[in-house]
Chain A
Amino acid sequence: MSRFEAMDGNAATAEAMRQINPDVVPAYPITPQTSTVQTFSQFVADGEVDTEFIRVESEHSAMAACIGASAAGGRVMTATSANGLALMWEMVYIAASNRTPIVMTVVNRALSGPINIHCDHSDSMGARDAGWIQLFGENPQEGYDNCIQAVRIAEHEDVLLPVMSMYDGFITSHGLERVQIEDDGAIKDFVGPFTAHEALLDVDHPVTYGPLDFYDFYMEHKRQQVEGMKHARRVILEVAADFEKRFGRHYGFFDGYRLDDAELALVVLSSTAGTARSVVDDLRSQGLKVGLLKPRVFRPFPAEELADALRDKAVVGVMDRSDSFGALGGPLFMELSAAFKIHDVPAKTVDYVFGLGGRDTTPDQIESVFRDLAGIAETGKIQQPVTYLGVRE
């Protein structure tokens, strides 16, 4: 039987990790992720899991140990945030290139400097080209559900890629909400036993991970990573379908809210979607045809599906909780704009960079975005392709 509990995002993720019972968890404390692995270390101390918990001396070592443990044939998980992820950088790429199916929770936090511990998406957006599958969750429930599905996605033999599961630092990681926790046995059945592929320590079938790989074969190996990502698109949906069948909660590439007949659409990741939904309701009651699209999967980027969902909209506003300095706008805006171009979507698009370093984003600001979109729909003119919300200028 499933049960309902009041949990914050980190507690829910630690609970998912307890139920998954990974073989190895190397981890290092960093705000706001800390309580995830700290809670998990309590499970280790209490003997509730069979996990080897390694208290490493840095995040670089954490990911290095993850890769070693995964290559040796273990189911491996960890968690980090911001500068922890940045310190892992070298290893983050190696994890994907070695096809080690590690699952890592990344509690989104602004990447310093100056030092900031609050939420934005600059940490995981910076890692968007590292070769990891990236899932964004809105609340503790989605953090829990994504963490569990991530294991199945990563370990699928057609994928074998590491997965990052994200949710917003403090807003979700430390915000207490109602979370439906599934039965231990049901989760164990869902994730299934771990099957190692090409593991080290198999003396009858020796393998080598990460040797020199120059112009003769390097490009083929990169091409295979691309193939793994392509398969991931199918596997993410298959795993979501099985998850829905067993537990009743629906997941896909994205989540639409009052989107089908909307003329003005807003695209925003993670917890801000919750605020945006209430604004959509308010404006709908005033007769404005507005809707919301919350992407869940950022890598692989579901370009075609997003293009189809937004094809008939007059104006699409993207809200980016990170910037790409010197680029055309935030990462979500750029990806979506490219998708629109490739898939012939005529909708006008504009970008709003918001909430950097935990800057509060109010319903009023989101309403101003919709009013802006309505103005663009009326005049057919975009005054400003990228706007910074709530900033002193």
Chain B
Amino acid sequence: MGRVLREKYTRQPTPFCPGCGHGIFLNAFLHAVDELGLDFDKTVFVSGIGCGAWVPSPHFQADTLHVTHGRAVAFATGVKTANPDLNVIVIGGDGDIATIGGNHLIHAARRNLPLKVFCLNNFLYGMTGGQVSATTPQGDITSTTRQGNPERPFDLVDLARGAGAPYVARFPVSQPRKLKRGIINALSFDQFAFMDVLSLCPTQYGRANRAKRGYEGPSMIWSMLEHQKGTVAPREKLDSENPEGKIPIGEWYAES
């Protein structure tokens, strides 16, 4: 993160593990904020429990509401309703926003208040010790699925679109410029916006799935980034068949 951005928008260094994708998101987010000229004095960040929730609170020099596990979107609904002039932004992880709080996400999408929800998806509960979440790919190893996850994950883009979100996006942290552009679009959108940010958790997910995924070489983190780049493709380039099983990235606007 540039020194200027750091001094302008943050209060303290981040506590994330080496190689955590959340730091890349934080960087991209602040670049987007600066480019857009988003006024932090008129912005409230709401976050729940987990590593992703630590991006805004206590790091940003803005008002933050740090709430219970899963409820950030519901609290944010209250904030926006009480004071519609505020920019209300939710940042959290997949365990928080899509698993224990999944119900709030779909109802916020349905209600379509102009909230911005960024889900930093690292495919498991990082902070509590790497347990399975609703986005853990089937067959992957977590600390509560030692033989591989037997259940199917949510596709968060499909979930949010199905619930009626008029702007949905997915970008990986391995493509930070695209990610930043997407954040700008999400923040400038005048209705509910949801982004599935494909993040990385080397500490929990990387270690547990190193053998299975073939994260090779001395730097597992670099290998994870390379792997992430290889598994995604712009949605425009994928036909409906998608024989290679790539994860589509990009933006989905509701046809209105």
Question: Chain A residues in contact with chain B, CB under 8 A?
Answer: 28-31, 34-35, 37-38, 41-42, 45-46, 53, 55, 57-58, 83, 87, 112-115
Contact of B128 among A30, A41, A45, A53 (CB under 8 A): A30
Are B131 and A29 closer than 8 Å at their CB atoms? yes
Can you report 7 A-B residue pairs in the complex whose CB atoms are below 8 A from each other? A31-B128, A41-B143, A45-B146, A55-B132, A55-B145, A57-B99, A112-B68
Tell me the residues in window 110-158 of chain B with beta carbons closer than 8 Å to chain A beta carbons.
Answer: 125, 128-129, 131-132, 134, 143-147, 151
B69 part of interface (Cβ distance < 8 Å): yes
Which chain B residues lie closer than 8 Å to A58 at the CB level?
A: 70, 99-100
0 or 1 for each of B44-60: is its CB under 8 Å from A? (1 = yes):
00000100000000000
Are A29 and B66 closer than 8 Å at their CB atoms? no
Are B131 and A115 closer than 8 Å at their CB atoms? no
Are B66 and A115 closer than 8 Å at their CB atoms? yes
Are A34 and B128 closer than 8 Å at their CB atoms? yes
If A28-B100, A57-B134, A115-B49 touch, whether A83 touches B146 (CB-CB below 8 Å) is: no
Are A38 and B144 closer than 8 Å at their CB atoms? yes
Are A38 and B131 closer than 8 Å at their CB atoms? yes
Query: CA–CA, A55 to B135, complex, Å?
Result: 13
Look across to chain A and name the residue whose beta carbon is closest to the beta carbon of B129: A34
Query: CA–CA, A229 to B125, complex, Å?
Result: 38
Query: CA–CA, A46 to B147, complex, Å?
Result: 8
Look across to chain B and name the residue whose beta carbon is closest to the beta carbon of A53: B144
List the 9 closest A-B pairs by CB distance, nearest first: A45-B146, A58-B100, A41-B144, A29-B128, A29-B131, A45-B147, A57-B99, A55-B132, A38-B143
Are A38 and B129 closer than 8 Å at their CB atoms? yes
* Given contact pairs A28-B100, A30-B69, A57-B134, a sample of 5 additional A-B residue pairs in the complex whose CB atoms are under 8 Å apart: A35-B129, A37-B144, A41-B143, A41-B145, A55-B132
B92 part of interface (Cβ distance < 8 Å): no
Which chain B residues lie closer than 8 Å to A87 at the CB level?
A: 68-69
Query: CA–CA, A225 to B102, complex, Å?
Result: 35
Q: Closest CB of chain A to B151's CB: distance in Å?
A: 7
Q: Closest CB of chain A to B146's CB: distance in Å?
A: 4
Q: Closest CB of chain B to A81's CB: distance in Å?
A: 11
Which chain A residues lie closer than 8 Å to B131 at the CB level?
A: 29, 34, 38, 55
Look across to chain A and name the residue whose beta carbon is closest to the beta carbon of B141: A45
Query: CA–CA, A29 to B128, complex, Å?
Result: 7
Which chain A residues lie closer than 8 Å to B144 at the CB level?
A: 29, 37-38, 41, 53, 55
Query: CA–CA, A114 to B65, complex, Å?
Result: 11
Look across to chain B and name the residue whose beta carbon is closest to the beta carbon of A42: B146
Which chain A residues lie closer than 8 Å to B102 at the CB level?
A: 57
Which chain A residues lie closer than 8 Å to B132 at the CB level?
A: 55
Which chain A residues lie closer than 8 Å to B67 at the CB level?
A: 113
Which chain B residues lie closer than 8 Å to A113 at the CB level?
A: 67-68
Query: CA–CA, A163 to B145, complex, Å?
Result: 27
Query: CA–CA, A66 to B132, complex, Å?
Result: 19
Q: Closest CB of chain A to B105's CB: distance in Å?
A: 12
Query: CA–CA, A37 to B128, complex, Å?
Result: 12
Q: Closest CB of chain B to A127's CB: distance in Å?
A: 17
Which chain A residues lie closer than 8 Å to B143 at the CB level?
A: 38, 41
Look across to chain A and name the residue whose beta carbon is closest to the beta carbon of B149: A55
Which chain A residues lie closer than 8 Å to B68 at the CB level?
A: 83, 87, 112-113
Tell me the residues in window 65-119 of chain B with beta carbons closer than 8 Å to chain A beta carbons.
Answer: 66-70, 99-100, 102
Query: CA–CA, A366 to B12, complex, Å?
Result: 38
Which chain B residues lie closer than 8 Å to A112 at the CB level?
A: 68
Q: Closest CB of chain A to B99's CB: distance in Å?
A: 5
Query: CA–CA, A58 to B99, complex, Å?
Result: 8
Look across to chain B and name the residue whose beta carbon is closest to the beta carbon of A45: B146
Query: CA–CA, A28 to B129, complex, Å?
Result: 12
Look across to chain A and name the residue whose beta carbon is closest to the beta carbon of B48: A115
Query: CA–CA, A213 to B134, complex, Å?
Result: 36
Query: CA–CA, A113 to B66, complex, Å?
Result: 10
Query: CA–CA, A53 to B70, complex, Å?
Result: 22
Look across to chain A and name the residue whose beta carbon is closest to the beta carbon of B68: A83
If A55-B144, A83-B69 touch, whether A29 touches B129 (CB-CB below 8 Å) is: yes
Q: Closest CB of chain B to A331's CB: distance in Å?
A: 23
Q: Closest CB of chain B to A59's CB: distance in Å?
A: 8
Query: CA–CA, A42 to B100, complex, Å?
Result: 22
Q: Closest CB of chain B to A123's CB: distance in Å?
A: 13
| Most chain B CB atoms below 10 A, which of A30, A37, A57 | A57
Q: Closest CB of chain A to B140's CB: distance in Å?
A: 13
Are A29 and B147 closer than 8 Å at their CB atoms? no
Which chain B residues lie closer than 8 Å to A34 at the CB level?
A: 128-129, 131
Look across to chain B and name the residue whose beta carbon is closest to the beta carbon of A37: B144
Q: Closest CB of chain B to A188's CB: distance in Å?
A: 24
Query: CA–CA, A112 to B70, complex, Å?
Result: 14
Query: CA–CA, A55 to B134, complex, Å?
Result: 10
Look across to chain B and name the residue whose beta carbon is closest to the beta carbon of A58: B100
Which chain A residues lie closer than 8 Å to B125 at the CB level?
A: 29
Query: CA–CA, A38 to B208, complex, Å?
Result: 14
Q: Closest CB of chain A to B48's CB: distance in Å?
A: 10
Q: Closest CB of chain B to A212's CB: distance in Å?
A: 25
Q: Closest CB of chain B to A175's CB: distance in Å?
A: 18
Which chain A residues lie closer than 8 Å to B69 at the CB level?
A: 30, 83, 87
Query: CA–CA, A35 to B70, complex, Å?
Result: 21
